[in-house]
Amino acid sequence: MTALLVLFVLVVVGGIGSAIAVNVVDRRPRPDEARYEIGRSFDRTDTALVSGGVARAIDVTVLELVDRGLVLAEDGKLTVSDEVDRLLDTPMDSPEYKPPYATDEGWILVSVRAKGRQGLDAVRRDVLKMRLRTRLRTLADRGFLVTPLRRQWGPAVVWAPTLAGMFFCSMGLITSYNPLEDSDAPAAITIFAWFPVTLLTAFIWSRRPGYHGPDPRTARGRDIVDLLRAELPDDAPQAQRVAVGGFAAMTDDALRRQVQGRADESRWSIMRRGRAGHYGVNAALAADSGMTSGDGGDGDGGGDGGGGD
């Protein structure tokens, strides 16, 4: 029985210790890995998706279109240029259809023409997000974002084996119990420890970046954005500045007012399932792109306005 009690203690200590160790290691900056991932494949849209979600990716594309003269901005109202307006009505199989924009940009231009006079928020909500959703999944697969499913079941990596180890130790104590010589107190104590120990290991493990709160970025995802922000050149285009830090990072205040208007800042915000009324556009777009908190978990309240990420 003594050996089983010692083994039980080792299982508990190992489970809690593993959760703490993962947390500590995960929070160490890894600029070399971040630089490798950036060089491997990481464009401006990827940057925007990781740093601020779907709303920020749309903002970046709108700014790029404004810079190229395909979208016109005035006091927060967006319109397409005459050329774009004509091309959007031109059949795609027509020899006259030679658009100066990509397909993904075309979807945003369609929304700008339809909703742009209502402001940037209306465009964000209207844009088709199939491609952005696919890119979010790819970024999650590369370890930059935590999906709702991983948020819910990720802690099982540590609590499940810990619970299994405690279960077998407790069963061993029960089966080896001799009513004439031993007390059944050790076995009872170990059984009562199952729930608090399991809960504690899961809680500690879930404190990792990306697994709680409104921001689903992993430590690697944050390292990438931090590196891009630190190495942002002084003459960086305004769209690139928005990609790493939202509208708050822009240096052209006049352009920011013309494009952003009264729209909320683009930043990560994950709504709780069934409570959409308490959240703004950023949380709604996160849900529209599959980044809803599936465990009734973390959001950031109703405040989508102001601030960067």
pLDDT digits (tens, 9 = 90+) for 101-147: 998 899 999 999 999 999 999 999 999 888 888 898 899 999 999 88
Beta strands in 111-221 (DSSP E): none
Residue 151 confidence (pLDDT): 84
- Stretch 189-212: mean pLDDT, rounded? 91
Most confident range, picked from 2-16, 56-70, 204-218: 56-70
For the entire predicted model, the pTM comes to: 0.82
CA dist 23 and 262 (Å) reads: 39
CA dist 279 and 286 (Å) reads: 11
Residue 180 confidence (pLDDT): 42
Q: What is the residue type of 295?
A: D
Residue 286 confidence (pLDDT): 78
Distance set, CA 35 to CA 4, 31, 176, 223, 226 (Å): 48, 6, 56, 9, 11
Residue 307 confidence (pLDDT): 36
What the block records as the tokens of 204 is 């500690």
